[in-house]
Amino acid sequence: MEESILEMKDIVRTFPGVKALNDVNFSLQKGSVHALMGENGAGKSTLMKCLVGINPPDSGKIILKGQQVVIPNPLVARNLGIAMIYQELNPVLERSVMENIWLGREPMKSKKSVFVDHKAMYDNTKTLLADLELDLDPKQRVKELSVAKMQMIEIAKAISFNADIVIMDEPTSALTNNEVEHLFSMIERLKKRGVSVIYITHKMDEIFRVADKVTVLRDGTNVVTKPVAELDINSLITAMVGRELTEMFPKTNVPSSDVRMEVRHLEVSNLIHDASFDLRKGEILGVSGLVGAGRTEMMEAIFGLRQKNAGEILIDGQKKNINSPVDAINCHMGFLTEDRRLTGIIPVLSVKNNTIIANLDRYKKAKMFLDHKKINKDCTEYREMLNIKTPSLEALIQNLSGGNQQKVLVARWLLTDSDILILDEPTRGIDVGAKAEIHSLITKLASEGKSIIMVSSEMPEVIGMSDRVMVVCQGRITAMLDRKDLNQETIMRYATSTNGHAAA
């Protein structure tokens, strides 16, 4: 019989109006990778927060290495050998790589000293990074790094605790294919050392690459626990959503030939070079490219979030001066940003206030007051339309699952009645069921004449949802591909070469 390092028995956790976990059981074997799956709101993150002491369970038992333990806070969890890599990154941007890794446990000059031993910290970091084969400068400031490299720092930090159990929550959400392979090799090394990994992801292919066993939660209860070898993608999806998803990419409508927006010779210093393209009415224009290619920076410049050095934007044939998001919103544009935690949601505000924040003028009454009756009506309508799971509109958005937070942000921009919607990684960190709902919504909006720019790192999503795909490499548009010409090999060829030529 396999040796269990962890058993969670009959775990119950409730929040106001919601029973998030209902008698959940979870067992983890020593030196194994156990995938934890389920739709957003299924209880995965809540179960892990019970384990690391962020939200201790209301009832149930946690047995670690054969001993029942109580974990009231994350410090106790860390001291017990449990480390967690969170999906939403919170690095100290102004500090160095090594200061982020050893934050709160810096080596001191001596036991009684109040001074940090920076040389020891540097040497320890170099050794750790070399062991993980990470090519990073310990002294480099984190704000100068890509999101992918910040993710790798968080992984290095978790491993530096010499934990027996490492929890990885969506660890590949910002990684390139090469970085994902590197992560998998790191996980294999951890397994050989006897470290156990709890792996949370919505990417099905990763489960069959890296996991030994899978547990599926649905609505806060156990549905399936099986070895990976006994499952396939279809049975896994059915277990997660309780139904078969036969149409992940419901792309049917054909865009108009009328041009809604023209971008001409756009330049952003050291980032975007002579970018020109058209966006048609009713079109879903996919934007593909490797991490760091400049896709997001291009969209930020179009929306007025980033200063342009040159270029012009025309909407319905008229030149527009878009130098700020307010200018863009006034031109009936909306922008769902890549990082919902950093630049999307306002965590301390309610679901309702996050929904209306970009559209307050719509609800002004007598120029001084807000029409709360109309606000509640509209927010309720979009809550039902997008199937946003929340106890109430007054609940803090930070207490919602990632997928439901994303739906609130979509509702925010729909309320502005935008004709042009820029969606940057609209399904990142969202479960398979919520993805299908977002895809259906995007298709519906396009069929109503909205023009959609969809930036995505997921190749199946780009191919399945787009009328055309614009490929970006090193800040340049290297190809504009029609739907009939879309395949992974072609997109990847243009994503890795600056010698392509954009076609109309």
| CA pair distance 256, 128, nearest whole angstrom | 55
Of the three residues 385, 412, 439, the one that is the final residue of a domain is 412
Q: Is residue 136 part of a domain?
A: yes
| CA pair distance 12, 4, nearest whole angstrom | 21
Q: Is residue 303 part of a domain?
A: yes
Q: Is residue 311 part of a domain?
A: yes
* Domain span at 497: 258-332+418-504
Q: Is residue 338 part of a domain?
A: no
Structure tokens at 86: 């969170």
pLDDT of 38: 83
Which of 442, 421, 464, 440 has the alpha carbon at shortest distance from 260? 421
How many domains does the structure of the chain reveal? 3
- 302 and 405 co-located in one domain: no
- 403 and 423 co-located in one domain: no
Structure tokens at 382: 């979009």
Q: What percent of the chain has pLDDT over 90?
A: 49
Which of 145, 111, 108, 112 has the alpha carbon at shortest distance from 124? 108
Q: Is residue 247 part of a domain?
A: no
Apex CA 6: angle with CA 5 and CA 7, to 5°?
135
pLDDT of 204: 80
pLDDT in tens, 214-244: 999 988 899 999 999 999 888 887 887 775 5
Residue 153: what residue type?
I
Q: Are 424 and 338 contacting, i.e. CB atoms less than 8 angstroms apart?
A: yes
Secondary structure E strands in 190-336: 196-200, 213-218, 221-227, 259-268, 272-280, 284-288, 310-315, 318-320, 333-336
If one counts every other C-beta atom within 10 angstroms of the C-beta of residue 71, the result is: 21
Q: What percent of the chain has pLDDT over 70?
A: 94
- 325 and 397 co-located in one domain: no
- 126 and 15 co-located in one domain: yes
- 29 and 151 co-located in one domain: yes
Q: Is residue 249 part of a domain?
A: no
pLDDT of 502: 45
pLDDT of 104: 85
pLDDT of 498: 53
If one counts every other C-beta atom within 10 angstroms of the C-beta of residue 414, the result is: 20
- Model pTM? 0.61
Burial of 90 (0-12, 13-18, 19+ CB in 10 A): exposed
CATH number at residue 501: 3.40.50.300
Q: Which residue has the tokens 């946003």?
A: 388
- 274 and 405 co-located in one domain: no
| CA pair distance 276, 388, nearest whole angstrom | 37
- 107 and 233 co-located in one domain: yes
The answer, yes or no, to whether residue 255 has pLDDT greater than 70, is yes
Mean pLDDT, residues 45-52: 93
Backbone angles phi, psi at 166, to 5 degrees: -120, 125
pLDDT of 124: 92
- 13 and 87 co-located in one domain: yes
Band (pLDDT 50/70/90 cuts) for residue 503 is very low
Q: Is residue 339 part of a domain?
A: no
pLDDT in tens, 340-392: 766 778 888 999 999 998 878 788 887 778 888 999 999 999 898 888 888 89
pLDDT in tens, 409-459: 888 888 887 899 999 988 876 767 777 888 888 898 899 999 999 999 888
End-to-end CA distance of the chain: 62
- 437 and 495 co-located in one domain: yes
Percent of the chain as helix, strand, coil, to the nearest 5: 35, 25, 35
Mean pLDDT for all residues in the chain: 87
C-alpha dist (Å) from residue 282 to 275, 425, 468? 22, 19, 12
- 147 and 190 co-located in one domain: yes
Residues 399-412: b if buried by 16+ CB within 10 A, e if exposed? bbbbbbbbbbbbbb
| CA pair distance 239, 174, nearest whole angstrom | 26
| 183 vs 278, residue with greater confidence | 278
- 407 and 434 co-located in one domain: no
Of the three residues 412, 430, 449, the one that is the final residue of a domain is 412
pLDDT of 321: 95
| CA pair distance 30, 35, nearest whole angstrom | 14
Secondary structure E strands in 38-92: 59-64, 67-69, 82-85
CB neighbour list of residue 243: distance below 8 Å, 6 or more residues apart: none
Which of 291, 310, 360 has the alpha carbon at shortest distance from 145? 291
| 469 vs 434, residue with greater confidence | 469
Of the three residues 369, 384, 412, the one that is the final residue of a domain is 412
For 392: left if phi > 0, alpha if psi spans -120 to 50, otherwise beta; the answer is beta
Q: Is residue 187 part of a domain?
A: yes
pLDDT in tens, 159-173: 888 889 999 988 887
- 461 and 503 co-located in one domain: yes
Quote the radius of gyration of the chain (alpha carbons, Å): 24
